Amino acid sequence: MFLKRSRFEKRRKEATADWPHSKIPQVTLGNDCQIAAREKKLKGCWQSGTETELGVLVDTLLTDHVENSAAVTQELGARVALCCLSGLADLLQRDYIERLKQKVSSDGEEEAKKALASLDRVVKGGNEMLTQRLLEELKPNFSKLLKSKWLQNKEIFESITTIIKKHFNQFRKMKSPPYQDLANGIHRKVVTEYVRAVVQTRVVCSSADMRMKVAGQLTQESVELREMFASLNSSASWLDTAIEHLAEIISLKDTSSIQMEVGALADSYPDVRKEHIEALLNIRGDISHQNRQNILETLRDFNGNNGGSTLSRNRALFAEIDATPVVQCANLNMSCALRCFSVFRRCSVRVR
């Protein structure tokens, strides 16, 4: 896990072979005696069980490697940081917990729980970092979903799946429990961002044919996401029907069928709110005021009947999504319409 000075210097020289000598940062890890002394002390703490001092030494060693490698290049520093994080998780999982179980008898379970909690924090922090890096790369593509060129341009969605698969080529090297948490978490984040793009779009279908095309593409991309994450071993199958429910609400023709689909959506995802349904009805572009109220009443009735149920944070989907405010301007006189348009403009600025 830890590099000797000679190995570090060798890698530094290889990484900077093409640089002008004057631009190569001078990095010092300390002399061989200092490194050997620290490693000897580390082994002593490990054998004697002084975890507090051990933690300080591990932190010092990791900090040295991360800071010194970052002095060469930022990219090298990032790579070393990831290696240290992975190595730290392995240290906790393979050695630390097992040693506690074997060494402590009466309070072994309690100590093991503490060690597992430490491991969980490391794994969670690493997974959050990896997920955030992936989402940052996906963000420009999510912003193009359900825009004017989305129906004609299949490359937008293909770019999303390509980026995800590229990252998972690296993630697959992880061990099973941390990998499973990462795969499930990314699956949830990707579906959340897709749903966000749907309910925040300002696209309004001008015909039944356009509604069918929009719903058809949503369904197709939902199936592709489901198949992709199944191949990546995500076990978060509860996410699979979310986008298809939205597609059905957009495509169905009669109000009673839409009401049934809204009930099915609320049954699968109890955190769906009135503004999410309003946003979907707004995409349709054909729902009268009275029918809109009848559909929303279905959601209110369903939420009322299930008001006592609690939803795990890990199973929340719509709770993190704000919908674009729906502004009704139909059947108003000109002055009301102008005030309505002014509100719409302010909303547009706020959403951007």
CATH class for the region spanning 145-167+176-307: mainly alpha
Displacement of CA 316 from its chain's centroid (Å): 13
Return the pLDDT at 117.
75
Return the pLDDT at 237.
94
Return the pLDDT at 191.
97
Return the pLDDT at 49.
46
Return the pLDDT at 40.
57
Residues whose CB falls within 8 Å of the CB of residue 209, separated by 6 or more in sequence, listed in order: none
Helix, strand and coil content of the chain, in percent to the nearest 5, comes to: 75, 0, 25
User: What DSSP line would sit under 278-300, residue for residue?
Assistant: HHHHHHH----HHHHHHHHHHHH
Q: Divide the 352 residues of the chain into consecutive groups of 10 and give the mean pLDDT of each group.
A: 48 47 43 56 50 61 76 77 63 55 57 69 84 94 90 92 94 84 95 96 92 96 97 95 97 95 94 95 94 93 66 79 58 44 42 37
Measure the CA–CA gap between 199 and 118, rounded to whole angstroms. Answer: 39
Looking at beta carbons, which pairs linking 93-97 to residues 24 or more positions away fall under 8 Å? 93/119, 93/175
Return the pLDDT at 185.
95
Please say whether the beta carbons of 344 and 326 come within 8 A.
Answer: no
Return the pLDDT at 330.
40
Please say whether the beta carbons of 98 and 8 come within 8 A.
Answer: no
Return the pLDDT at 65.
73
Measure the CA–CA gap between 122 and 115, rounded to whole angstroms. Answer: 11
**What are the domain boundaries of the chain?**
5-120, 145-167+176-307, 327-352
Burial of 160 (0-12, 13-18, 19+ CB in 10 A): buried
Straight-line distance from the first to the last Cα atom of the chain, in angstroms, rounded to the nearest whole number? 46
